[in-house]
Structures are given as C-alpha cells and as structure tokens.
C-alpha cells in the first residue's frame, strides 16, 4: 500500500462509529448511585456538568495578580462495556507472561502452594482493581469505594490477549524461563498457557543489545520495513476479526531500544514517517513500526519502554486516526518511590542536592540494558522524573544552575538476582543553617510482579478514556488530546501534549486521575478541607 493510501485509510479509521457493536452486557455501577441535578443518564451516556475552578495569573513587574475564574464543562461517558483485545509486543517476556498468567489465575480462581502456605489470586498493585476513592461522608465517616466502581470499566478477566515476540516459546515455557511466578502456579497455568504462542515479531539488531540475538528465532524475515508494517497491520486486523472484538489496544513491553536519531525529515510528519518506512530508513525502530501499525488500524498504542517511539509523525498519525498514544516507560518501584521522596522533601522546604541510584538485576531487561546505547535510554527516563518537582520551588532553586543537582544512575546486570531488582539509593539534602540530611534506601523490586498490574491499569484506563468526551460551554463534544497524558501516574517519563508542562509529582498525578473519574460520575472533587466534619454534620446540613 502506497503512502497516500495509508494516510487516507488512517484518516477514515475511528475507534467509535455509530454502527459499532458491543457484545458484552451493560455493566453499570451497582454499589453507588449519584443523585444530582448536574448529572443525567441519556440513553447509553452518563452526562455530568462540571464547573472548573482555576486561577489565571498575570505578572506585573515582580508582583503577581491572581484572578480566580470558573469555566463550565460537560463530560459525556459511554457506559457500554466493549469486548477488548490487547496485543502485547514482547508477549513472551517476563511482563507479558506474568500479566497473562496472573489474569488467568484470577479468572479461574486458581490457588497454589508455596512454603508459605496456600495462596489466593488477587490484583494487588493495581490502581483500578485494588485502590479506593473517597466519594463523600456518611455523618462524619468517610466513605470509600473501589476505583473500578466509580465508572463502568472493563473487567480485566474479560480481556482477550495476543501479541508478538522474537522468541517462539509458548507462554507456559516462557513463564518458566522468566522465573517470576511460583512453580506450583506455573504448573497449574500450563494447560492454559502452552497453547498461546506469540506471532513472529520485528527484529532490528541495531536497536537492542547484541545479547538478545540468541532469543530471536521468531522474527518476520527480510529488511523491508513497509512490508513489516503491513504484516503487523494484518496481524491486528485478523486478531480483531477472529475474536469478534470491538476494539484492540497495543502495548510495547519488549526490550528497551536505543533512542533513534530523531530527524524532522524522517520522523517529523506522518507523511515523512511513512515515506521513511517505505524506504526502510535505518533510523526507523521496531517500536515505531508497531506504533504506526496501531494507528493505521485504529488502535491506541502505549509505549512501556523509555525509547523515543512516539515521534511527531506517530502523533500525527494517531490524531488523524482518532486514537491515543501514551508513554514512556513503566513507573513501578524505585522511580515511583523517588518521586514520592523528592516531592516530600521539596514540599517540606528541604533542598535535595544529590540523588545516587544504583540498581542490579538479573532478568532479560537487565541483560539488554548492559549494552550502553540501551542503558542511555533508561538513564534518561530515570533522571528526568524529578525535574518539574525541583523547578516548582524557586525558593530552593532560584537559578537554572542550582537545578543541576548531582543525579547519578547506575544499572548492572547480575544474573543471580533474577527478576528481584535490588535498588540502593542515597538522597542528600540541605536543611536549616547549612545542615545535611541523608536518606539511604534499600528497595527490592520484584520487577514483573509490580509491572503486570500496572500494565493492566494502563490498558483499562486507556480504554475508559476512549469512551469519555467533553465540551466547554455546551459546544461540540471532543475527545482528550491524542497524547494521553492522563496516564502519567503510571509512567517514568510521561509524554505530554505539545506545549503542556510534564508533571512527575505522584500525588498530583494520582489526584488528576481520581478527580477525572469523579467528575465524569457527577461526584464532587474532594479538597480535603473536611468542613462537613470540622463544622459539625448537623449544622453543615442546615
């Protein structure tokens, strides 16, 4: 298919059409009913009015003039639950096998034994499935409900999985190779997993470590990148049709690639990007091929690794197709803790001066990162995760020079460690009268057991946001921006819309997600003043 035909098909593709069929039963919220004049159920849509309160700042010399303002919005959420398919790039890796096996264990309530006793499956570590949101007060008692119950969401056990991998192992053998899941559970999952075999994937040795070559026995032949793109597109279309799916979401959980050398003439627009794919340009990565295929097939794409997959041309393709792209790099253990601690220090008026992060791990991710070019991609995402937190406090950091704190990242491959990544961090901060405070933190992150529920959240939230539209002042409804920065809570280096400041503060990222689902459900955002309790419940109601 030529460039023009690709662009035309892309522009005609939409996730939502009036004729789209949803085969799942309607799943509406059972544990909570909102009674409000600002909320209505209009057929399949839940519509809520929201007055957004913000403060516009004008600068007059060295003075700020604050002007509070209120803007009216309407949010419209499609309450129908679609049948969703997920295609993972790197399905046979540690994350892919752990996620697939974990969801199957929950779906079929598979228990297993270890030396610690009998274990029940759960979704611990999942924001959507295991965390709660405060919805109000009953007398003086705060009431919390599961995140997943505030708006209608896909049940993870109903997701249909597929995907690609450069290794031909079935998922049962791949899970055994990963050495993440307990042996007894592996054996009980084997009948379900051994029939799941990844599709051949794209393998460009220049973009990942040479030590991955011994796995690459399941690759699409040749070096014609346009042909590779078309094969991946056909894989997606066949998967959707064969499983009678309403929508498909793609997620990259394969190896960290080196950064491509980004060039406007290669990656700058959708047309140039497709031309570069057609000419098999050496700076077109495998992950970018998958992202383009997703967009051209009307599927949202999530990049779970730190490389610069989502180049401007991919964003333009996604915008034309009406789908989302999101990234970069899963935020699981050490980095999530780092943003929390730095946010605490800066919020307390304590000045971080140095962060030294050391990691050693023994999984295949660590093996791949032992190559310098791949490590540099990871180093960048780990280093930038506190930048905006530091920049927010001009009292502690009045100059650009002072923002350049000593932030050192070390990652070493140690096979004996396996999937239990050892993270050792030292934080040095300046306190009152030139004093020093030092935190030394030792953190064992079971990488894939933390990443699997996070991947599930990315998929479920991305699907939910595909069903949400909003309008300002009763104007035409629109979807969120193509770059889905709402998912930043789950990403080390969250990619934001053009011109929008990236936010890494974990509490602000979490509040952003919580507030959005509450607004869409017609609930009031909690400002934590708790006046109904402090003033007295009986007097407050008068």
Annotated catalytic residues are 329, 378, 421, 492
Quickly list DSSP for 5-51.
HHHHHHHH--S--TT----SPP---SS-----TTEEEETTEEEEEEE
Quickly list DSSP for 156-213.
GGGPEEEEEESS---HHHHHHHHT-S-HHHHHHHHHHHTT--PEEB---GGGS-GGGG
* Rg over CA atoms, the chain: 24
Q: How would you classify the pairing of strands 117-119 and 112-114?
A: antiparallel
Closest to 457 (Cα-Cα) out of 75, 153, 104: 153
Closest to 377 (Cα-Cα) out of 259, 514, 535, 252: 259
From residue 86, give the alpha-carbon distance in Å to each of 243, 247, 313, 414, 502.
11, 9, 23, 32, 27
427 alpha-carbon distance from chain centroid: 27
CB 364 within 8 A of CB 95: no
Give CA–CA dist 514/132, Å, rounded.
9
From residue 200, give the alpha-carbon distance in Å to each of 165, 190, 231, 300, 505.
6, 21, 10, 21, 39
Give CA–CA dist 408/356, Å, rounded.
5
User: Using alpha carbons only, what angle is made at residue 435 by residues 434 and 436, rounded to the nearest 5 degrees?
Assistant: 125
Give CA–CA dist 190/172, Å, rounded.
5
Angle, helix 286-296 to helix 312-321, in steps of 10 degrees = 20
Give CA–CA dist 95/256, Å, rounded.
13
Give CA–CA dist 95/304, Å, rounded.
10
Specify whether the backbone of 499 is left (phi greater than 0), alpha (psi in -120 to 50) or beta.
left
Q: Which residues contact 406 (CB under 8 A, 6 or more apart)?
A: 353, 354, 355, 356
Q: Is the dihedral of CA 308, 314, 319, 324 positive or negative?
A: negative
From residue 402, give the alpha-carbon distance in Å to each of 395, 399, 408, 427, 434.
11, 6, 16, 16, 15
Q: 300 - beta bridge partners? A: 249
Give CA–CA dist 384/390, Å, rounded.
11
Closest to 202 (Cα-Cα) out of 178, 175, 166: 166
């Amino acid at each position: 298919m030529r460039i023009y035909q690709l662009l035309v098909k892309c522009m005609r593709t939409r996730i939502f059409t009036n004729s789209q069929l949803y085969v799942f039963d309607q799943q509406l919220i059972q544990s909570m009913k909102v009674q409000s004049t600002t909320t209505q159920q209009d057929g399949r849509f839940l519509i809520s009015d929201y007055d957004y309160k913000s403060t516009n700042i004008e600068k007059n010399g060295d003075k700020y003039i604050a002007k509070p303002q209120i803007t009216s919005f309407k949010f419209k959420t499609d309450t129908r639950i679609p049948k969703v398919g997920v295609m993972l790039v790197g399905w046979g890796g540690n994350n892919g096998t752990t996620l697939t096996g974990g969801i199957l264990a929950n779906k079929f309530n598979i228990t297993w034994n270890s030396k610690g006793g009998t274990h029940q499956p759960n979704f611990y570590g999942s924001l959507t499935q295991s965390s709660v949101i405060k919805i109000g007060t009953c007398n003086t008692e705060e009431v919390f409900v599961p995140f997943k119950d505030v708006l209608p969401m896909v049940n993870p056990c109903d997701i249909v999985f597929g995907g690609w991998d450069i290794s031909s192992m079935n998922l049962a053998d791949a899970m055994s190779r990963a050495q993440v899941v307990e042996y007894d559970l592996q054996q009980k999952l084997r009948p379900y997993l051994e029939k799941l075999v990844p599709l051949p994937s794209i393998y460009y040795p220049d973009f990942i470590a040479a030590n991955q070559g011994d796995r690459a026995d399941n690759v699409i032949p040749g070096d014609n990148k346009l042909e590779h793109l078309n094969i991946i597109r056909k894989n997606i279309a066949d998967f959707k049709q064969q499983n009678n799916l309403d929508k498909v979401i793609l997620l990259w959980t394969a190896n960290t690639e080196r950064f491509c050398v980004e060039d406007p003439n290669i990656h700058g627009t959708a047309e140039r990007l497709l031309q570069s794919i057609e000419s098999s340009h050496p700076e077109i990565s495998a992950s970018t091929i998958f992202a383009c295929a997703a967009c051209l097939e009307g599927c949202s794409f999530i990049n779970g690794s730190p490389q610069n997959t989502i180049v401007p041309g991919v964003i333009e393709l996604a915008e034309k197709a009406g789908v989302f792209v999101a990234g970069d790099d899963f935020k699981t253990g050490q980095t999530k803790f780092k943003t929390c601690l730095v946010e605490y220090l800066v919020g307390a008026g304590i000045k971080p001066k140095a962060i030294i992060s050391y990691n050693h791990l023994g999984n295949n991710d660590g093996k791949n990162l032992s190559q310098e070019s791949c490590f540099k991609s990871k180093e960048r995402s780990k280093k930038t995760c506190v930048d905006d937190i530091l920049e927010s406090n001009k009292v502690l950091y009045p100059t650009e020079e002072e923002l350049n704190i000593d932030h050192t990242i070390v990652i070493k491959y140690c096979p004996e460690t396996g999937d239990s990544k050892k993270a050792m961090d030292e934080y040095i901060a300046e306190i009152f009268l030139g004093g020093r405070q030092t935190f030394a933190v030792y953190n064992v992150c079971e990488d894939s057991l933390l990443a699997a529920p996070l991947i599930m959240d990315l998929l479920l939230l991305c699907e939910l946001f595909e069903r949400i539209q909003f309008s300002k002042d009763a104007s035409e409804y629109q979807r969120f921006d193509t770059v889905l920065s709402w998912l930043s809570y789950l990403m080390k280096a969250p990619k934001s819309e053009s011109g929008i400041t990236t936010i890494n503060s974990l509490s602000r990222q979490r509040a952003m997600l919580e507030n959005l689902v509450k607004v869409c459900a017609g609930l009031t955002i909690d400002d934590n003043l708790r006046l109904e309790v402090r003033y007295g419940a009986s007097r407050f109601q008068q």
